[in-house]
Amino acid sequence: MTARILSIGTAVPPAVLEQDAVRDLFASQPGIGRLSQRLVRAAFDASAIETRHTVLTELADALAGRSTATLADDPATAAERLPVVDDAGRLLSPPTGARNDTYIATAPALFADAARQALAEASVDPADVTHVVTVSCTGMFAPGPDYRLVRDLGLPTSVERYHLGFIGCAAAVPALRAAARMCAAQPEAVVLVVCAELCTLHFRVADDPDQILAASLFADGAAAAVVSADPSRRGERWLDLERFATAVTDDGERDMTWTIGDAGFEMVLSAEVPRIIGREIRDAVDGFLGGASVDTWAVHPGGRAVVDRVEAGLGLPADALATSRAVLRDYGNMSSATILFILRSLLQGDDLRDGETIATLAFGPGLTMEAALLTAGVANLEPVHADAALTEPVASWT
């Protein structure tokens, strides 16, 4: 029996960052050199991002011209208001512990909101969930988000829980693969996969080009998928999980990394990443597809340059990655959650066709490519006309 995605839910924090305003804030920091100012403007202007979402309400307040709150003003929400900018517009550098405290305070709600939407759209009662797979690389605590989902959604306390941590932007695909394996072993299983990333918690002021690039790209968001092989749970639309693949490039191990520093998690995302992907994408995808045809592409937009290199490397038409570019424009790079935003857009699109094949590609530290081949299903819900029913054979009464 084929495991399938029954629904996908998404959630973002209410605070919105306008890309131009964030650019100007970073470029105007005291002590920043002229070269770094040029790098900031170049990175932000080339990002193809217009808006992003953040849990950093103080940053959003500062950009909107509102006075930033202090921890003393509202101690009840101290953990939720990480001080990252002062009233003079100077970016601060809180320690990793304070950043992680904000993750603990704010991430569970995003996990739960995305999961509730996915369960509701799949018409799945929380009591029917048998497995939970959570994904995140931007914070950590125990008992973790998998445990919190059981409590916050009222899931059975006997639900099997798994957490995939620190895999990076590609992690949603291994999570879906794990869900498919669970359904193969237990066909009646209902697996809830939830990714939530608070990348903006780790913004920092730096002259390092890698940190500037990271600040221009990353955002906060969550997405959830309900996966099951039970045919009775299939709704009007679904995505069959046909096959998966992993490929590791010959180089790039040091070009995309994610480590824990004293002032937040530290991202290395060098300019070599798009070039490595562009150089190796054709062989990796050809090996994964094995000659299978692809109707639609869902590619994680690690950045505009990554999308451009994938498009060129695979020889795709100019509009082939339009959905990936739209998600990047409106939400930025939300790490692991991003690919599920893209799949949700395709799943709910007006032009989704029954039997449409979707190649899903995501990239993470390593440099690693995670891939999945999906087949869309669209139920025929058109009513049978009365005159057509008359042409059906009639059973004999004799």
Instruction: Name the catalytic one among 169, 183, 195, 199.
Output: 169
The rounded Cα 230 to chain-centroid distance in angstroms is: 26
* CA gap 54, 201 in Å, rounded: 8
> Phi/psi class of residue 215: alpha, beta or left (left: φ > 0; alpha: ψ in -120 to 50)?
alpha
DSSP per-residue letters across 261-287 = ETTEEEEEE-THHHHHHHHHHHHHHHH
As beta bridge partners, residue 163 has: 134
Residue 63 burial (10 A CB sphere; 0-12, 13-18, 19+): buried
Beta-carbon-side half-sphere exposure of residue 274 (alpha carbons within 13 Å): 14
Q: Decide if 221 contacts 54 (C-beta within 8 A).
A: no
Phi, psi of 198 (to 5 degrees): -115, 70
183 catalytic? Reply is no
d(CA 148, CA 32): 41
> For residue 81, what is the DSSP state?
S
Q: What angle is formed at CA 271 by the lines to CA 270 and CA 277, rounded to 5 degrees?
A: 100
Tell me 308's DSSP state.
H
Q: Phi/psi at 231 (nearest 5 deg)?
A: -65, -25
Token pair recorded at residue 286: 């050809």
**Nearest C-alpha neighbor of 381 from the set 236, 239, 233:** 236
Indicate the SS3 state at residue 293. coil
- Do residues 124 and 233 touch, judged by C-beta distance below 8 A? yes
Segments in the chain forming alpha helices (H): 19-27, 34-45, 57-63, 96-121, 145-153, 172-185, 209-217, 272-289, 304-313, 322-331, 338-347, 386-389
Enumerate the active-site residues: 169
